[in-house]
Chains A and B, each alone.
Chain A
Amino acid sequence: MNKPSKFDEPWQAQLFALTVALSEAGHFTWPDWTAAFGAMLKAKGKDRPLDGGADYYAAWLETLEALLDRTGLAGREEAHAMRHAWERAYLTTPHGAPVHLPGDSVSGLRCI
Protein backbone atom coordinates (compact mmCIF):
# COMPACT_ATOMS: atom_id res chain seq x y z
CA MET A 1 0.00 0.00 0.00
CA ASN A 2 1.18 3.50 -0.74
CA LYS A 3 1.40 5.91 2.16
CA PRO A 4 -1.52 8.34 2.21
CA SER A 5 -0.80 11.50 0.25
CA LYS A 6 -0.17 14.80 1.99
CA PHE A 7 -2.76 16.22 -0.41
CA ASP A 8 -6.45 15.36 -0.61
CA GLU A 9 -6.43 15.07 -4.39
CA PRO A 10 -3.62 14.54 -6.92
CA TRP A 11 -4.33 17.82 -8.72
CA GLN A 12 -3.57 19.73 -5.51
CA ALA A 13 -0.13 18.14 -5.38
CA GLN A 14 0.45 18.91 -9.07
CA LEU A 15 -0.64 22.50 -8.52
CA PHE A 16 1.66 22.87 -5.53
CA ALA A 17 4.63 21.47 -7.48
CA LEU A 18 3.88 23.62 -10.52
CA THR A 19 3.83 26.80 -8.43
CA VAL A 20 7.04 25.97 -6.58
CA ALA A 21 8.78 25.02 -9.84
CA LEU A 22 7.72 28.27 -11.53
CA SER A 23 9.01 30.32 -8.62
CA GLU A 24 12.23 28.37 -8.49
CA ALA A 25 12.76 28.85 -12.21
CA GLY A 26 12.63 32.58 -11.46
CA HIS A 27 9.27 33.44 -13.04
CA PHE A 28 8.04 35.05 -9.83
CA THR A 29 9.38 35.39 -6.30
CA TRP A 30 7.80 33.56 -3.42
CA PRO A 31 6.85 36.82 -1.63
CA ASP A 32 5.06 37.89 -4.86
CA TRP A 33 3.21 34.60 -4.76
CA THR A 34 2.19 34.83 -1.11
CA ALA A 35 1.02 38.44 -1.57
CA ALA A 36 -1.22 37.44 -4.50
CA PHE A 37 -2.45 34.30 -2.75
CA GLY A 38 -3.08 36.13 0.51
CA ALA A 39 -5.19 38.71 -1.31
CA MET A 40 -7.20 35.97 -3.04
CA LEU A 41 -7.80 34.12 0.26
CA LYS A 42 -8.97 37.34 1.83
CA ALA A 43 -11.40 38.04 -1.03
CA LYS A 44 -12.71 34.46 -1.02
CA GLY A 45 -13.11 34.38 2.74
CA LYS A 46 -15.46 37.37 2.70
CA ASP A 47 -18.50 35.29 1.70
CA ARG A 48 -17.83 32.37 4.01
CA PRO A 49 -14.83 31.15 5.99
CA LEU A 50 -12.50 28.83 4.07
CA ASP A 51 -11.88 25.43 5.63
CA GLY A 52 -8.29 25.11 4.45
CA GLY A 53 -9.03 22.02 2.33
CA ALA A 54 -10.51 21.95 -1.18
CA ASP A 55 -11.49 25.63 -1.07
CA TYR A 56 -7.91 26.56 -0.17
CA TYR A 57 -6.51 24.85 -3.27
CA ALA A 58 -9.35 26.25 -5.41
CA ALA A 59 -8.20 29.74 -4.35
CA TRP A 60 -4.58 28.69 -5.02
CA LEU A 61 -5.50 27.61 -8.56
CA GLU A 62 -7.38 30.82 -9.24
CA THR A 63 -4.40 32.85 -8.00
CA LEU A 64 -1.95 30.99 -10.22
CA GLU A 65 -4.19 31.33 -13.29
CA ALA A 66 -4.50 35.08 -12.70
CA LEU A 67 -0.77 35.47 -12.08
CA LEU A 68 0.16 33.55 -15.23
CA ASP A 69 -2.31 35.61 -17.25
CA ARG A 70 -1.05 38.89 -15.82
CA THR A 71 2.59 38.03 -16.50
CA GLY A 72 1.84 36.60 -19.92
CA LEU A 73 3.40 33.23 -19.07
CA ALA A 74 0.10 31.51 -19.87
CA GLY A 75 -2.83 33.64 -20.99
CA ARG A 76 -6.36 32.96 -19.85
CA GLU A 77 -7.50 32.11 -23.36
CA GLU A 78 -4.78 29.62 -24.13
CA ALA A 79 -5.25 28.01 -20.71
CA HIS A 80 -8.97 27.76 -21.40
CA ALA A 81 -8.37 26.28 -24.86
CA MET A 82 -5.95 23.74 -23.42
CA ARG A 83 -8.42 22.76 -20.70
CA HIS A 84 -11.00 22.05 -23.40
CA ALA A 85 -8.48 20.14 -25.50
CA TRP A 86 -7.91 17.86 -22.49
CA GLU A 87 -11.63 17.51 -21.88
CA ARG A 88 -12.18 16.50 -25.51
CA ALA A 89 -9.31 14.04 -25.30
CA TYR A 90 -10.90 12.37 -22.25
CA LEU A 91 -14.32 12.24 -23.86
CA THR A 92 -13.03 10.71 -27.09
CA THR A 93 -10.58 8.20 -25.62
CA PRO A 94 -12.03 4.71 -25.13
CA HIS A 95 -12.35 3.70 -21.49
CA GLY A 96 -9.18 2.06 -20.22
CA ALA A 97 -6.88 3.52 -22.88
CA PRO A 98 -4.28 6.15 -21.97
CA VAL A 99 -5.46 9.69 -22.67
CA HIS A 100 -3.27 11.81 -24.94
CA LEU A 101 -3.72 15.23 -26.44
CA PRO A 102 -3.86 15.36 -30.21
CA GLY A 103 -0.43 16.37 -31.52
CA ASP A 104 -1.46 19.80 -32.75
CA SER A 105 -2.66 20.97 -29.31
CA VAL A 106 0.81 21.78 -28.10
CA SER A 107 2.69 22.47 -31.30
CA GLY A 108 3.86 26.01 -31.79
CA LEU A 109 3.90 26.76 -28.07
CA ARG A 110 7.58 26.44 -27.40
CA CYS A 111 9.31 29.77 -27.02
CA ILE A 112 12.00 30.30 -29.59
Chain B
Amino acid sequence: MPHDDSDHPHALLPSDPALRVKALETLLTAKGLVDPAALDAILDTYERKVGPHLGAQAVARAWSDPAFRERLLTDATAAIGELGITGRQGEHVVAVENTPETHNMVVCTLCSCYPWPLLGIPPAWYKSDAYRARAVREPRKVLAEFGVTLPEGQAVRVWDSTAEVRYLVIPMRPEGTEGLDETALAALVSRDSMIGTGVAEAPK
Protein backbone atom coordinates (compact mmCIF):
# COMPACT_ATOMS: atom_id res chain seq x y z
CA MET B 1 0.00 0.00 0.00
CA PRO B 2 1.37 3.47 -0.76
CA HIS B 3 2.23 5.38 2.33
CA ASP B 4 2.47 9.12 1.83
CA ASP B 5 1.20 10.20 5.20
CA SER B 6 3.44 13.07 6.17
CA ASP B 7 2.06 12.98 9.72
CA HIS B 8 3.99 9.77 10.25
CA PRO B 9 7.14 10.60 12.16
CA HIS B 10 8.94 7.35 11.31
CA ALA B 11 9.37 4.81 8.54
CA LEU B 12 6.47 2.44 7.97
CA LEU B 13 7.00 -0.64 10.10
CA PRO B 14 7.00 -3.87 8.04
CA SER B 15 4.75 -6.77 9.09
CA ASP B 16 5.90 -9.26 11.71
CA PRO B 17 6.85 -11.99 9.22
CA ALA B 18 8.68 -9.43 7.07
CA LEU B 19 10.73 -8.35 10.10
CA ARG B 20 11.49 -11.96 11.02
CA VAL B 21 12.70 -12.75 7.50
CA LYS B 22 14.80 -9.59 7.50
CA ALA B 23 16.30 -10.65 10.82
CA LEU B 24 17.25 -14.09 9.50
CA GLU B 25 18.68 -12.62 6.34
CA THR B 26 20.79 -10.12 8.29
CA LEU B 27 22.06 -12.79 10.67
CA LEU B 28 22.85 -15.37 8.02
CA THR B 29 24.61 -12.99 5.67
CA ALA B 30 26.55 -11.39 8.56
CA LYS B 31 27.72 -14.85 9.60
CA GLY B 32 28.75 -15.56 6.03
CA LEU B 33 26.33 -18.50 5.75
CA VAL B 34 24.55 -17.14 2.68
CA ASP B 35 25.84 -14.87 -0.03
CA PRO B 36 23.63 -11.84 -0.79
CA ALA B 37 24.53 -12.18 -4.48
CA ALA B 38 23.24 -15.77 -4.42
CA LEU B 39 19.97 -14.54 -2.94
CA ASP B 40 19.58 -11.97 -5.71
CA ALA B 41 20.34 -14.57 -8.38
CA ILE B 42 17.72 -16.95 -6.97
CA LEU B 43 15.09 -14.21 -6.87
CA ASP B 44 15.88 -13.15 -10.40
CA THR B 45 15.60 -16.73 -11.65
CA TYR B 46 12.21 -17.47 -10.11
CA GLU B 47 10.65 -14.03 -10.53
CA ARG B 48 11.73 -13.45 -14.10
CA LYS B 49 13.28 -16.40 -15.91
CA VAL B 50 11.58 -19.65 -15.00
CA GLY B 51 7.94 -20.43 -15.64
CA PRO B 52 5.46 -22.75 -17.41
CA HIS B 53 6.59 -21.43 -20.82
CA LEU B 54 9.61 -23.73 -20.43
CA GLY B 55 7.52 -26.81 -19.69
CA ALA B 56 5.30 -25.92 -22.65
CA GLN B 57 8.35 -25.84 -24.89
CA ALA B 58 9.27 -29.39 -23.83
CA VAL B 59 5.72 -30.65 -24.41
CA ALA B 60 5.53 -29.01 -27.84
CA ARG B 61 8.82 -30.62 -28.78
CA ALA B 62 7.56 -34.03 -27.63
CA TRP B 63 4.41 -33.59 -29.74
CA SER B 64 6.46 -32.68 -32.82
CA ASP B 65 9.44 -34.97 -32.52
CA PRO B 66 8.78 -38.67 -31.77
CA ALA B 67 12.44 -39.34 -30.93
CA PHE B 68 12.44 -36.51 -28.39
CA ARG B 69 9.16 -37.82 -26.94
CA GLU B 70 10.83 -41.22 -26.42
CA ARG B 71 13.80 -39.61 -24.68
CA LEU B 72 11.50 -37.47 -22.53
CA LEU B 73 9.60 -40.54 -21.38
CA THR B 74 12.78 -42.51 -20.76
CA ASP B 75 14.90 -39.87 -19.01
CA ALA B 76 13.11 -36.54 -18.70
CA THR B 77 15.94 -34.78 -16.89
CA ALA B 78 18.36 -35.50 -19.74
CA ALA B 79 15.77 -34.66 -22.41
CA ILE B 80 14.86 -31.26 -20.98
CA GLY B 81 18.58 -30.63 -20.55
CA GLU B 82 18.83 -30.77 -24.37
CA LEU B 83 16.52 -27.73 -24.41
CA GLY B 84 18.71 -25.95 -21.89
CA ILE B 85 16.20 -26.52 -19.09
CA THR B 86 18.11 -27.43 -15.96
CA GLY B 87 18.25 -26.36 -12.37
CA ARG B 88 17.35 -27.13 -8.83
CA GLN B 89 14.33 -29.35 -8.23
CA GLY B 90 14.75 -30.66 -11.74
CA GLU B 91 17.42 -33.23 -10.97
CA HIS B 92 15.01 -36.12 -11.28
CA VAL B 93 12.01 -35.32 -13.44
CA VAL B 94 9.68 -38.03 -14.64
CA ALA B 95 7.40 -37.29 -17.59
CA VAL B 96 4.04 -39.05 -17.64
CA GLU B 97 2.00 -39.04 -20.80
CA ASN B 98 -1.77 -38.72 -21.03
CA THR B 99 -3.49 -41.17 -23.35
CA PRO B 100 -7.14 -41.90 -24.16
CA GLU B 101 -6.86 -44.66 -21.51
CA THR B 102 -5.08 -42.75 -18.73
CA HIS B 103 -5.12 -39.19 -17.46
CA ASN B 104 -2.25 -38.23 -15.17
CA MET B 105 -2.41 -35.70 -12.37
CA VAL B 106 0.32 -34.50 -10.01
CA VAL B 107 0.19 -33.55 -6.34
CA CYS B 108 2.60 -33.26 -3.43
CA THR B 109 0.84 -34.61 -0.37
CA LEU B 110 3.85 -33.80 1.86
CA CYS B 111 4.29 -30.12 1.06
CA SER B 112 4.60 -28.62 -2.41
CA CYS B 113 7.33 -30.40 -4.39
CA TYR B 114 7.09 -29.20 -7.97
CA PRO B 115 9.31 -29.26 -11.09
CA TRP B 116 10.61 -25.70 -10.68
CA PRO B 117 12.79 -25.59 -13.84
CA LEU B 118 9.80 -26.51 -16.00
CA LEU B 119 6.91 -24.77 -14.26
CA GLY B 120 8.36 -22.15 -11.89
CA ILE B 121 6.78 -21.46 -8.50
CA PRO B 122 3.59 -23.46 -7.84
CA PRO B 123 0.24 -21.69 -7.68
CA ALA B 124 -1.44 -21.26 -4.28
CA TRP B 125 -4.04 -23.95 -4.93
CA TYR B 126 -1.29 -26.54 -5.49
CA LYS B 127 0.00 -25.74 -2.00
CA SER B 128 -3.42 -25.73 -0.32
CA ASP B 129 -4.49 -28.44 2.07
CA ALA B 130 -7.68 -28.90 0.06
CA TYR B 131 -5.86 -29.88 -3.13
CA ARG B 132 -3.14 -31.87 -1.38
CA ALA B 133 -5.68 -33.94 0.53
CA ARG B 134 -8.32 -34.38 -2.14
CA ALA B 135 -6.25 -34.97 -5.28
CA VAL B 136 -5.51 -38.49 -4.11
CA ARG B 137 -8.88 -39.22 -2.50
CA GLU B 138 -11.25 -37.88 -5.12
CA PRO B 139 -9.32 -36.86 -8.22
CA ARG B 140 -12.33 -36.85 -10.53
CA LYS B 141 -14.19 -34.45 -8.29
CA VAL B 142 -11.18 -32.17 -8.08
CA LEU B 143 -10.79 -32.30 -11.86
CA ALA B 144 -14.45 -31.40 -12.29
CA GLU B 145 -13.86 -28.29 -10.16
CA PHE B 146 -11.11 -27.35 -12.59
CA GLY B 147 -13.62 -27.78 -15.40
CA VAL B 148 -12.16 -31.07 -16.61
CA THR B 149 -14.57 -33.93 -17.18
CA LEU B 150 -12.95 -37.14 -18.31
CA PRO B 151 -14.67 -39.78 -20.38
CA GLU B 152 -15.79 -42.70 -18.23
CA GLY B 153 -13.32 -45.12 -19.77
CA GLN B 154 -10.31 -42.92 -19.01
CA ALA B 155 -8.60 -43.83 -15.75
CA VAL B 156 -6.99 -41.20 -13.52
CA ARG B 157 -3.53 -41.83 -12.17
CA VAL B 158 -2.30 -39.52 -9.41
CA TRP B 159 1.44 -39.07 -8.91
CA ASP B 160 2.72 -37.93 -5.52
CA SER B 161 5.83 -35.76 -5.87
CA THR B 162 8.66 -35.91 -3.40
CA ALA B 163 11.83 -33.97 -2.72
CA GLU B 164 13.56 -36.45 -5.04
CA VAL B 165 11.08 -37.04 -7.88
CA ARG B 166 9.07 -34.37 -9.73
CA TYR B 167 6.51 -35.11 -12.41
CA LEU B 168 5.61 -33.42 -15.66
CA VAL B 169 2.36 -34.35 -17.34
CA ILE B 170 2.48 -34.47 -21.14
CA PRO B 171 -1.08 -33.58 -22.10
CA MET B 172 -2.70 -35.09 -25.17
CA ARG B 173 -2.14 -33.11 -28.33
CA PRO B 174 -5.41 -31.45 -29.31
CA GLU B 175 -7.19 -32.38 -32.53
CA GLY B 176 -6.72 -30.14 -35.52
CA THR B 177 -3.18 -29.03 -34.71
CA GLU B 178 -1.38 -31.02 -37.41
CA GLY B 179 -0.02 -28.03 -39.28
CA LEU B 180 1.22 -26.07 -36.26
CA ASP B 181 4.88 -25.45 -35.50
CA GLU B 182 6.39 -25.85 -32.04
CA THR B 183 5.89 -22.23 -31.05
CA ALA B 184 2.21 -22.34 -31.94
CA LEU B 185 1.84 -25.70 -30.17
CA ALA B 186 3.57 -24.44 -27.01
CA ALA B 187 0.98 -21.66 -26.78
CA LEU B 188 -1.71 -24.35 -26.31
CA VAL B 189 0.04 -25.93 -23.33
CA SER B 190 -1.16 -24.35 -20.09
CA ARG B 191 0.48 -24.71 -16.70
CA ASP B 192 -2.52 -26.67 -15.42
CA SER B 193 -2.36 -29.10 -18.34
CA MET B 194 1.19 -30.00 -17.25
CA ILE B 195 0.02 -30.58 -13.65
CA GLY B 196 -2.88 -32.59 -14.97
CA THR B 197 -5.63 -30.31 -13.66
CA GLY B 198 -6.26 -29.07 -17.18
CA VAL B 199 -6.07 -30.27 -20.77
CA ALA B 200 -4.38 -28.69 -23.76
CA GLU B 201 -7.05 -26.83 -25.74
CA ALA B 202 -7.32 -26.74 -29.51
CA PRO B 203 -6.68 -23.30 -31.03
CA LYS B 204 -9.84 -21.19 -31.22
Chain A residues engaging chain B, CB cutoff 8 angstroms: 3, 5-7, 9-11, 13-18, 20-22, 24-25, 27, 30-31, 33-35, 37-38, 41, 45, 49-53, 56-58, 61, 64-65, 68, 73-74, 78-80, 82-83, 85-87, 90-97, 99, 101, 105-106, 109-111
Find the A residue at minimum CB distance from B133: A49
The answer to whether B23 and A82 touch across the interface, beta carbons within 8 angstroms, is: yes
Find the B residue at minimum CB distance from A31: B163
The answer to whether B20 and A83 touch across the interface, beta carbons within 8 angstroms, is: yes
A111 to B100, CA, bound (A): 59
The interface centre, meaning the residue of A80, A93, A95 with most chain B CB atoms within 10 A of its CB, is A95
A30 to B113, CA, bound (A): 10
B42 at the interface (CB under 8 A from A): yes
Residues in A neighbouring B27, C-beta threshold 8 A: 74, 78-79, 82, 106, 109
B65 to chain A, nearest CB (A): 30
- Which of B13, B24, B123 contacts A65, CB < 8 Å? B24
A34 to B162, CA, bound (A): 8
- Which of A5, A33, A95, A99 contacts B163, CB < 8 Å? A33
The answer to whether B120 and A30 touch across the interface, beta carbons within 8 angstroms, is: no
Residues in A neighbouring B38, C-beta threshold 8 A: 21, 24-25
Count of interface residues, chain B, beta-carbon cutoff 8 Å = 57
The answer to whether B24 and A18 touch across the interface, beta carbons within 8 angstroms, is: yes
A91 to B35, CA, bound (A): 28
- Which of A9, A17, A56, A64 contacts B18, CB < 8 Å? A9
A29 to chain B, nearest CB (A): 8
The interface centre, meaning the residue of A22, A24, A34 with most chain B CB atoms within 10 A of its CB, is A34
B131 to chain A, nearest CB (A): 7
- Which of A13, A95, A111 contacts B10, CB < 8 Å? A95
Q: 4 closest A-B pairs (Cβ-Cβ)?
A: A52-B128, A52-B127, A82-B23, A38-B110
The answer to whether A38 and B111 touch across the interface, beta carbons within 8 angstroms, is: yes
Can you offer 11 A-B residue contacts whose CB atoms are under 8 A?
A9-B18, A18-B25, A22-B34, A24-B38, A52-B125, A53-B127, A56-B124, A74-B27, A83-B22, A85-B23, A90-B10
The interface centre, meaning the residue of A6, A17, A20, A38 with most chain B CB atoms within 10 A of its CB, is A17
